[in-house]
């Protein structure tokens, strides 16, 4: 694939302490969590070249990084994700395989950073023989996880889509001279900075020390200055289901019917046209997207799909959650928030009555949410993440070259 320099590319760069290449994944849920870190690395004088699909170039450019764009095969916000596990995994792999030539077309850096799905970054680091540091936007592997997940993994590998996926991975690794087992390549990075709070990590006590938990890296550029309309002192409830699985007008309508009157409700409806929800009562507003960080600053309860980014941001802002998971890792994330003591997970079906009761219960968890917020902010953030990237990128023992 031919490399395309984005129109938002910066001009000449000053000398920097280190030169990084970041292999991203063209999905907002993968890009947003790391933007604050990328901006901090640039502010520290490092030169960062970020590889991402065209449609997210402007988002990344705001960090000050140099942006190299490509035609991503990742589904867009209005496109459907495969329901089959193997087919969904194949999307990430296909994208990485098309991105690799773009990454390798960049001048050799001092180190490579890469998203958990940005496999091209790890392969490129091997080809360049430079350190590789994964930026994980989700929970990471723990000691014994492979054994605990063995039955599920075997089922995936035995399916037609899973067999195709693992065969493609093996052929790609062989083509690029990586002698790693496919599972090790996919799940065991040589070094990793984890962009979620440690309290959201399952079996955190069994995670290797080489994984550095930095927690959320809140990006100031995402703030818009949004504030609620004045003159209404009712408790504010924010309702949002992320970017991919948002076609749930039934949930939005249930929140309106259950909360209107006693609560102020701010809805982000994603793929659903707000007009489909009908007339909105006083104190209820709806739009396809909202400045989530700003809204969470003012919200008292967050009705969420429990995507990892939203889960982490709810803890950073100390907002209790009502959890309505839709797919992928969201049920696990929801269970972690419940176990932390900041989340409520109502049983299905989700009705106006059950969601209202859950919001009332969540609002009573404000004290616990404030405690977790203090812990998360004390133990993580942008500075910790950037410090870890600098240290891991400078350690000779952390190499992109995997020859085992």
Distance CA 93, CA 120 (A): 9
Least confident of 80-94, 112-126, 351-365: 80-94
Give yes or no for a contact between 369 and 300, defined as CB atoms under 8 angstroms apart. no
- pTM for the model stands at 0.84
Average pLDDT, the chain: 90
Q: Can you give the length of the chain in residues?
A: 404
User: Where are the alpha helices (H) located in 4-116, listed in sequence order?
Assistant: 28-43, 57-61, 85-104
Q: Which two tokens stand for residue 2?
A: 């031919």
Q: What is the pLDDT of residues 74-100, one digit of tens each?
A: 887 667 778 888 999 999 999 999 999
CB neighbours (10 Å) of residue 296?
20
Residue 385, phi-psi category: left (phi > 0), alpha (psi -120 to 50), beta (remainder):
alpha
Return the biggest CA–CA distance within the chain: 64
Distance CA 280, CA 402 (A): 57
DSSP H or E stretch at residue 68: strand 66-70
Distance CA 73, CA 83 (A): 16
Question: What is the pLDDT confidence band of residue 328, given thresholds at 50, 70 and 90?
Answer: confident
Residue with tokens 């493609």: 168
φ, ψ of residue 40 in degrees (nearest 5): -65, -40
402 has a pLDDT exceeding 90: no
Question: What is the pLDDT confidence band of residue 6, given thresholds at 50, 70 and 90?
Answer: very low
Q: Which two tokens stand for residue 89?
A: 């995994």
More confident residue, 88 or 238: 238
Start-to-end CA distance of the chain, whole Å, equals: 29
Distance CA 378, CA 160 (A): 46
Distance CA 264, CA 281 (A): 10
E strand map for 253-348: 264-268, 284-287, 301-304, 321-323, 343-344
Q: What is the pLDDT of residues 150-173, one digit of tens each?
A: 999 999 999 999 999 999 999 999
Q: What is the pLDDT of residues 7-55, one digit of tens each?
A: 333 444 455 589 999 999 999 889 999 999 999 999 999 999 999 999 9
Supply the pLDDT for residue 14. Answer: 52
327 has a pLDDT exceeding 90: no
């Amino acid at each position: 694939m031919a490399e395309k320099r984005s129109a938002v590319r910066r001009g000449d760069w000053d000398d920097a302490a280190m030169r990084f290449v970041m292999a991203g994944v063209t999905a907002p849920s993968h890009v947003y969590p790391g933007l604050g870190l990328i901006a901090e690395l640039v502010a520290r004088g490092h030169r960062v070249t970020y590889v991402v699909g065209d449609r997210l170039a402007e988002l990344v450019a705001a960090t000050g990084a140099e942006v190299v764009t490509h035609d991503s095969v990742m589904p867009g916000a209005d496109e459907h994700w495969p329901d089959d596990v193997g087919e969904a995994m194949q999307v990430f792999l296909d994208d990485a395989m098309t991105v690799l030539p773009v990454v390798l077309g960049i001048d050799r850096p001092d180190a490579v950073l890469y998203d958990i799905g940005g496999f091209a970054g790890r392969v490129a680091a091997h080809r360049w023989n430079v350190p590789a540091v994964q930026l994980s936007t989700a929970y990471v592997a723990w000691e014994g996880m492979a054994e605990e997940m063995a039955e599920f993994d075997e089922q995936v590998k035995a399916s037609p889509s899973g067999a195709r996926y693992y065969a493609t991975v093996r052929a790609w690794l062989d083509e690029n001279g990586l002698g790693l087992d496919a599972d090790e390549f996919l799940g065991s990075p040589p070094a990793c900075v984890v962009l979620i709070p440690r309290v959201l990590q399952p079996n955190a006590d069994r995670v290797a020390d080489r994984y550095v938990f930095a927690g959320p890296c809140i990006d100031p550029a995402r703030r818009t200055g949004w504030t609620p309309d004045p003159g209404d002192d009712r408790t504010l409830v924010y309702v949002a289901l992320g970017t991919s699985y948002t076609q749930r007008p039934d949930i939005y309508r249930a929140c309106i019917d259950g909360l209107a009157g006693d609560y102020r409700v701010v809805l982000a409806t994603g793929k659903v046209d707000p007009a489909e929800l009908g007339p909105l009562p006083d104190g209820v507003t709806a739009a396809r997207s909202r400045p989530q960080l700003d809204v969470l600053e003012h919200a008292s309860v967050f009705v969420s799909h429990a995507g990892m980014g939203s889960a982490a941001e709810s803890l950073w802002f100390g907002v209790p959650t009502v959890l309505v998971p839709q797919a992928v890792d969201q049920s696990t994330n929801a269970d972690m928030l419940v176990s932390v003591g900041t989340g409520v997970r109502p049983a299905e079906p989700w009705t106006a009555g059950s969601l209202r009761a859950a919001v009332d219960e969540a609002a009573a968890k404000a004290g616990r949410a404030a405690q977790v917020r203090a812990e998360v902010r004390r133990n993580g953030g942008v500075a910790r993440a950037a410090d870890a990237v600098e240290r891991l990128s400078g350690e000779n023992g952390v190499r992109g070259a995997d020859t085992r």
